[in-house]
Amino acid sequence: MNKLRLFVFLLAAGFLIQSCTKDTQSAVAFSNQPFQANINGTSWVPDTVSTTITYNPADQSKTFYCSGQKNQKQVIFSVKLNNSTNTPGFATGTFNIDSVNVFAQYNVQQLNGSGNLVFVPHGAVKPGSGSIVITSVDSVKKQISGTFSFYSRSTQYDNQGNVISTTVDNITAGQFENLSYQFYNNQ
């Protein structure tokens, strides 16, 4: 009988020792796509991306243009270099938005008067509201890398011109890495 008691005790002890913890594991995996940004704090990875560098011989300028869109949102930015040559490369550096040579725009999709979905600017991106940084350009492979961030402000007014509300969309942590581009000559 004592032997049986010992076995029951050992078995019960085993159950107690085996107090397995139930840990909660939580992991987040972000996209590793070459073009992505945070829009108002939420990661956004466009599924349609267009990147070009276009040389315009008329004014000897070269423009880097990039757009991405997904889920009724669209981000566009461009950098124009004056006094450029007809080559597929592009200058690296930081380009502050000035609405003259450096533009950025945040669009959302809306129904127009004809009932079609079109992208329209959600607010205005004014000079000084952000920058585009081009970190590397491979003119042989035609790949370009860099970062961008800006904000777009929209203000609603009443009939008397008083401000009702202001909305700011923050496009932050934008990055494009080894993004392939097309080179065009507008001749």
Partner 1 sequence: MKRKYTLIILLVVFAAAGAQAQMKSYIDIYGGASYAVGNFAAADYSNNDAGFGKRGATFGLDGAYYFSKKLPFAIGASVIFQDQGEVSYTDALNLATGYTTSYKADYTTVTTVGRYHAINFLVGPQYSFQYHKFILDLRAAGGLSRVSQTPAYTIAISGVPEQSKTIYQREGGGLLPIYGGSAGLRFKFADNWSVGIRGAYYDTGNGLKVNTDGLQEPAQGRLVTRLPSFSVFQTTLGITVDL
* Cβ proximity of 169 and 40 under 8 Å: yes
The stretch near partner 1 (CB under 8 A) out of 10-18, 97-105, 118-126, 160-168 is 10-18
Give the residue with the Cβ less far from partner 1, 23 or 158: 23
CA atoms within 13 Å, Cβ hemisphere of 18: 6
Restricting to residues 51-70, name those near partner 1 by CB under 8 A. Answer: 70
Alpha carbon of 48 to those of 29, 33, 60, 96, 137: distances in Å? 21, 11, 29, 25, 21
Residues 116-135, one symbol each (x = binds partner 1 by CB under 8 A, - = not), give: --------------------
| 31 is a site residue for partner 1 (CB under 8 A) | yes
Q: How big is the chain by its Cα radius of gyration, in Å?
A: 27
Give the residue with the Cβ less far from partner 1, 7 or 157: 7
CA torsion angle for 104, 87, 36, 66 (degrees, to 10)? 40
| 11 is a site residue for partner 1 (CB under 8 A) | yes
| 187 is a site residue for partner 1 (CB under 8 A) | no
Q: How many CB atoms lie within 10 A of CB 74?
A: 20
By CB under 8 A, how many residues form the interface with partner 1? 28
Alpha carbon of 51 to those of 66, 85, 114, 158: distances in Å? 4, 19, 29, 39
The correct pick among 1, 5, 16, 29 for binding partner 1 (CB under 8 A) is: 29
Q: Is 10 left (phi over 0), alpha (psi -120 to 50) or beta?
A: alpha
| 25 is a site residue for partner 1 (CB under 8 A) | yes
| 22 is a site residue for partner 1 (CB under 8 A) | yes
Give the residue with the Cβ less far from partner 1, 47 or 98: 47
Residues that bind partner 1 (CB under 8 A): 3, 7, 10-11, 14-15, 18, 20, 22-33, 36, 42-45, 47, 70-71
